[in-house]
Structure 1
Amino acid sequence: MLMDIDYDPQQGRVTQAGAYRHFLPPSPLNYWVQSFWQLNVPSGQFSYRGVPDNCVDWIINLNNVEDNIIVPPFLSPIEFTLAGQVSYFGIRFRVLGHQSLISVPLGEWCLNNGVAHAMDLLSNTLLHTAFERLERAQSFDERCKCLSTLLLSVVKRTTVDMRVAHYIRYCHRNTTSCINLSDQQCSEFGVSSRQLRRLTQLYLGATPKDFARVLRFQGTLNTMDVDKKNVAWAAHYYDQSHYIREFKRLSGFTPTEFKNLSVLSNQRANG
Structure 2
Amino acid sequence: MEIAFTYRQYRPSALMAAHVECYWTWQGDCPAGRVERLIPGGRVELIFNLGDEVQWLMDGLVLRGTHIMGQRDRLFFCRPQGKVRLFGVRFRPGCFGAFAPTPLHLLLNRLLPAAELLGPGVEEMYQQLWATGSDECRVRLVEEGFCPMLAGTPSSVVQAALDTMRRVEGISVEAMCEQVGWGYKRMERAFLKEVGYTPKGYSRLVRFNKAIRRMDGTTTLTSVGHACGYYDQAHFIKDFSRFAGMTPGQFRPEENPVAELLIRNQAV
Question: Which range, TM-score by smaller chain?
Answer: 0.7 to 0.9
TM-score, structure 2 length as denominator? Answer: 0.76
User: 1:76 corresponds to which residue?
Assistant: 74
Q: TM-score, normalised by structure 1?
A: 0.75
Which of 159, 168, 171 is the equivalent residue of 1:174? Answer: 168
Alpha-carbon distance in 2 for matches of 1:263, 1:146: 28
**Deviation for aligned residue 1:195:** 2.0
Please say if 1:34 is aligned against 2:8: no
Per-residue deviation at 1:157? 7.1
Structure 2 residue aligned with 1:123: 119
Aligned residue number for residue 235 of structure 1: 227
Partner of 1:269: none
The one of 210, 217, 222 equivalent to 1:219 is 210
Identity value in percent: 22
Contact 1:38 1:87 in 2 (8 A): yes
For 1:98, which of 96, 99, 116 is the aligned residue? Answer: 96
Equivalent residue, structure 1, for 2:4: 18
In structure 2, distance between residues paired with 1:39 and 1:257: 28
Work out whether 1:160 is the aligned partner of 2:154: yes
In 2: Cα distance, 1:188 partner to 1:26 partner: 30
Q: Deviations over 1:19-58 (max 9, x none)?
A: 2412132542443332313153513122221111110111
Q: Secondary structure at the match of 1:205?
A: coil
Q: Structure 1, residues 185-209: CA drift from partner, whole Å, max 9, x if none?
A: 6355343322222211111111111
Rounded to whole Å, the distance in 2 between the matches of 1:122 and 1:195 is 28
Distance 2:206 2:227 in 1: 13
Cα 1:148–1:233 change in 2 (3 A) is same
> Which runs of 5 or more structure 2 residues have no equivalent in the other structure?
53-62, 260-268
Distance across 2 between alignment mates of 1:250 and 1:215: 11
Secondary structure at the counterpart of residue 46 of structure 1: coil
Q: Which structure carries more relative contact order (alpha carbon 8 Å, separation 6+)? A: 1
Query: Which amino acid in 1 is paired with 2:77?
Result: E
Question: SS in structure 1 opposite 2:34?
Answer: strand
CA distance in 2, matches of 1:16, 1:92: 26
Distance 1:46 1:125 in 2: 33
- The letter for the 2-side match of 1:124 is P
Aligned residues: 240
In structure 1, how many angstroms separate the alpha carbons of the residues matched to 2:258 and 2:161? 34
Q: Distance in 2 between matches of 1:18 and 1:83?
A: 11
Describe the shift of the 1:60–1:41 C-alpha distance in structure 2 as closer, same or farther (beyond 3 A).
farther
SS, match of residue 158 in structure 1: coil
CA distance in 2, matches of 1:110, 1:25: 25
Q: Structure 2 CA distance, aligned partners of 1:210 and 1:161?
A: 19
RMSD over aligned Cα, in angstroms? 2.9
2:192 to 178, 183, 201: 201
- Which residue does the alignment assign to 2:107? 110
Contact conserved, 1:62 with 1:87, CA < 8 A, in 2? yes
Task: Please state whether the residue corresponding to 2:33 is helix, strand or coil.
Answer: strand
